[in-house]
Amino acid sequence: MSEEFDPDWLDLREPFDAMARSAALADRLLARLPARPRFIDLGAGTGSLLRFLAPRLGRAQAWTLVDADRVLLEAAFDTIADRAEAVGWTISFPNKRTLLVHAPGGAWRVESLVADLAEAPRGLPLANADAVVSSALCDLVSRAWAERLAGALRVPFYAALCVTGRDRFAPPHPADRVVADGFRRDQGRDKGFGGAALGARAPAVLAEVFAARGFAVEGAPSDWEVRGRGPAPMPGMGEAAGRFLTELVLGHAEAARRQDRRGDRRIEAWLEARLDQVAERRLSARIGHRDLLALPQGKG
């Protein structure tokens, strides 16, 4: 796995991820789990998916956070502990790899595993899992990777925030198509998972490969919706929305540049105009995502 992610970016996007994920699909997953479920979180980063799902479950549970980046996993432990203490829960560390969050409904046992996800499912403790989950991961992987994982799983698989390629910035700009085309091509480059990344094909390919192995597959939209002006979606999000929009604009322009062989000056014009609109609080964006849940049939 060659992609690396900045902890500051993961922290900035976390509230937007939480608002975008399908609550109904997440609850459908949680309803299928045993009394004390054990999760494997692939590409866990700083633990944002745990912070979304664990309180919804509201009972004792165990998590193995898997990532190639040890620094991100260390940040995950710190952030989970800080958020727990902020709401008055106690924490403890039985050992260097384990965090216990003593939540009201039952303790959360959180462990970390540093692993190259490109090798998955090899090296994953699948025999000890009741569900395998991920967020913003599956558009990076190859079809072969998805087929290997689907072939190895006998438990529910939940993939949140898979890109769909349906991105829209408003107001319109003449170079929107140029930037969008370059961005989509860049999403398909090899991200270190053994072939071209699925990119916007991820929801359809995941549904296909899991259905072929007997899973019942459901999906739900989970678009990011970010407004530069108007009521903030939650307290304190106004400033964060501006920073988030800035990162989206910079990311789209950088990706389009990587795919530009002719020095298309329209990309730079688009970037300059969009950054001006962020500063003027005139830019909004809808970035297409889809959540997917694959359930083994005959299991409740």
Taking the C-alpha atoms of residue 65 and residue 246, their distance in angstroms, rounded to an integer, is 29
Question: DSSP state, 281?
Answer: T
Spell out the residues 6+ positions from residue 143 whose beta carbon is closer than 8 angstroms to its own: 195, 198, 205, 209
By three-state DSSP, how is residue 148 classified?
Answer: helix
How high is the pLDDT of residue 4? 66
How high is the pLDDT of residue 236? 56
> Of 205, 181, 180, 210, nearest to 195 (Cα)?
205
Taking the C-alpha atoms of residue 124 and residue 65, their distance in angstroms, rounded to an integer, is 11
CA distances for 79 relative to 16, 48, 234, angstroms: 17, 9, 20
Contact 292, 203 (CB under 8 A): yes
How high is the pLDDT of residue 300? 41
Contact 111, 92 (CB under 8 A): no
How high is the pLDDT of residue 95? 85
Paired tokens of 221 = 């939209």
By three-state DSSP, how is residue 259 classified?
Answer: coil
CA atoms within 13 A on the CB side of 218: 14
pLDDT in tens, the chain (300 residues): 455 678 999 999 999 999 999 999 999 999 999 999 999 999 999 999 999 999 999 999 999 999 999 999 999 999 999 999 999 999 999 987 899 999 999 999 999 999 999 999 999 999 999 999 999 999 999 999 999 999 999 999 999 999 999 999 999 999 999 999 999 999 999 999 999 999 999 999 999 999 999 999 999 999 999 987 655 454 556 789 999 999 999 999 999 999 987 878 999 999 999 999 999 999 999 999 999 999 998 644
Burial (Cβ within 10 Å: 0-12, 13-18, ≥19) of residue 295: buried
Q: Whole-structure pTM over 0.85, yes or no? A: yes
Paired tokens of 140 = 């990076």
How high is the pLDDT of residue 260? 87
CATH topology assigned to domain 7-165+196-225+287-296 = Rossmann fold (3.40.50)
